[in-house]
Amino acid sequence: MRASDRAYRALLDEIQSGALAPGAVLGEVEQSTRLGVSRTPLREALGRLAADGLVAQASPRVTVVTAIDADDIRSLFQVRRALEESAARLAAATADRAVFAGLADEFADAEPAGATGAEPAGDADAYYALIARFDAALDAAVANGYLTAALRTVRTHLVRVRRLARDNPARLAASVAEHRVIAAAIAAGDTDLAAHATHVHLHNALTSILESLESR
């Protein structure tokens, strides 16, 4: 792996996990030393993060992690809704139905663990791993490079936003059930239901995240 790729991956993980909080200063000297890379690959990594919208230049040699507030989240979900509803509709028309039937079964198996407020699928990490496999299956079914590239950008920011829901086991349990409906609709080839179920899921997710943000 190139030094710039290694630095990018390390900083991306820290920003998405919250280890580097919004407003954190990323000085070139400090970060190149900490990550064990020279300044040139560090600058390349910071340039990629800036293109992602995750950092911004505060001065010629100082970069800061960008903030994410309620307005940012609403804007993100506007784009997410348009992309994911379209993807669900396309997948329902073209997908390998057995793949999504299997995913629907996995979401159904995960539901009981969260039915009483416990985290679904044993813990949030396991749940998000299942979501990642659902996203990958959706991307493969859509087979549209432009759409999946746009979704990839949205998901990069979504990792930060999802941290706000990790402390809400009831919401994670509800999300499992919502994903089961989406996967089942795609497996059934029901384009309208797949898009509508995605719309409902995103509405509920946004509402929950904004409530979590306000409570903090």
Delineate the domains of the chain, giving CATH numbers in brackets: 3-65 (1.10.10.10), 70-215 (1.20.120.530)
For the CA atoms of 38, 66, 20, 69, the dihedral, rounded to the nearest 10 degrees, stands at -170
Phi-psi region of 117 (alpha: psi -120 to 50; beta: other; left: phi over 0): left
pLDDT at 111: 61
Instruction: Write out pLDDT tens, residues 1-55.
Output: 789 999 999 999 999 888 998 899 998 889 999 999 998 999 999 999 999 899 9
pLDDT at 123: 64
pLDDT at 112: 45
Which residues in the chain come in under a pLDDT of 50?
A: 112-121
Residue 62 is classified by DSSP as E
Q: CA 161 to CA 188: how far, in whole Å?
A: 31
pLDDT at 167: 64
Question: What is the pairing mode between strands 25-27 and 62-65?
Answer: antiparallel
